[in-house]
Structure 1
Amino acid sequence: MTGQINIGFLVYPDVIQLDVMAAYQVLAFPPNTTIHLLGKTLTPITSNEGLIITPTTTLDNCPTLDIICVPGGGIGQIEVMKDREILNFLQQKSNTAKYITSVCTGSLILAAANLLQGYKATCHWAFRDQLAMLGVEVIPERVVIDRDRITGAGVTSGIDFGLTLLNLICGEDTAKMAQLMMEYNPQPPFNAGTPETAGKEIVEPLLQLGQPLIAAFMTQTKEIMSQTRG
């Protein structure tokens, strides 16, 4: 891609802030990218972690986007998955955007907008079943590319997702410079970043802790399925 590149991140109450900011940090590196934080209004929103994020433009005033990215969220994401204004906006922008993308459970929002059916995609490991139920071929990888759809897995994968996307739009050297600038050379203190490496003794209590959110997503997924069948 040449010239100025417009990138839009959807933000909404209860969004996971690192789902937005990990990829934002990477994609803001080249001078020819302009990043927009897209909200229904310009009213600041509170992230799932309690940070305040201020949209830079509204859905109604959003410019033409080359890339649209949908981050995941906490319980507030349920409202987004059934918000017809937001879903219509995503469908409209997908007609002209070069890449339609997501991080974490943002892929469930894309699927709710019928933008991932027939594509391979990924999401946070705890929500793969719900994504598959919506007609998406789920691939348990950190970043999945299928034509013009690019999806990242859970939270921190936003960095890998951002570097992958930056390689596509600006070239490998630019992506490598962004990685070096960020000193992205992960050496985690624990080998517990996936269910397989964490083991049951860590996975099971975490799933119990997250059960209300998982159940809420499952309920909304089944509602979307019933509406589609109807």
Structure 2
Amino acid sequence: MRLDNRVALVTGAAMGIGAAVAECFLEAGARVVLFDIDAQALSLRESALQDRGELLAIAGDVASEADVESAVARTLETFGSLDLLVNNAGIDLAGKAPDFSSSDWDRLMDVNLKGAYLFSRYSIPHLAARAGAIVNISSVHAIVSYESCPAYDAAKAGMLALTRTLALDHGPQGVRVNAICPGYVDTPMTQKWLDSVPDRAATLEQVRAVHPLRRMATPRDIAEAALFLASSRASFITGATLVVDGGLTIYGR
């Protein structure tokens, strides 16, 4: 699967899934814009990928309309077009509703859902000119509810609704919009969570056990799925949700 002569913008690209998507797309021939709020991590990722192809690193907040508008403008100034958008940026805040502050709710929604909306809003006019595509990185939390995750579950479910509506609205312009629902992925965010639990080894074994494939995904597993949805191989797929979870959601809990 190739993305030659295509320009892709990936949010949350400094580490984890976003970094893997950026690397995968560069290997497939795309020119890639890496967008992330963590300027230091972004600089390190830019250095690590600079010999893989043409890229541009932009530090900013997906929840800031000014940052989003500027990032799209800089992409066009640098590369002349925008073909692909991967909305991957996200944060994870947990807590049951009575203990979950409205400020935490707002911040999570701003990053995990509003950010995808803002980047889609400013990108779609340019994607339409190039028969482009959007890939939204949602989560199995959009399909199966988890305890103490009201905001995260709601935001990820919202991404699927946003995916379907954007696909419906902009399909006539040739823009495809699809979503991926990963399960557990071996990312820095997951490692941070594992480090916070009382028995890391036991928890890791439990995580593996609820996957019929008996492992977590690697970021590359998700990146390859994103590459497929972004490529011409998926030219007649839009409004779809691709569950890439090692069988997690079919496991009887």
Task: Give the TM-score normalised by structure 1.
Answer: 0.46
TM-score when normalising by structure 2: 0.42
Which structure features the higher share of helix residues?
2
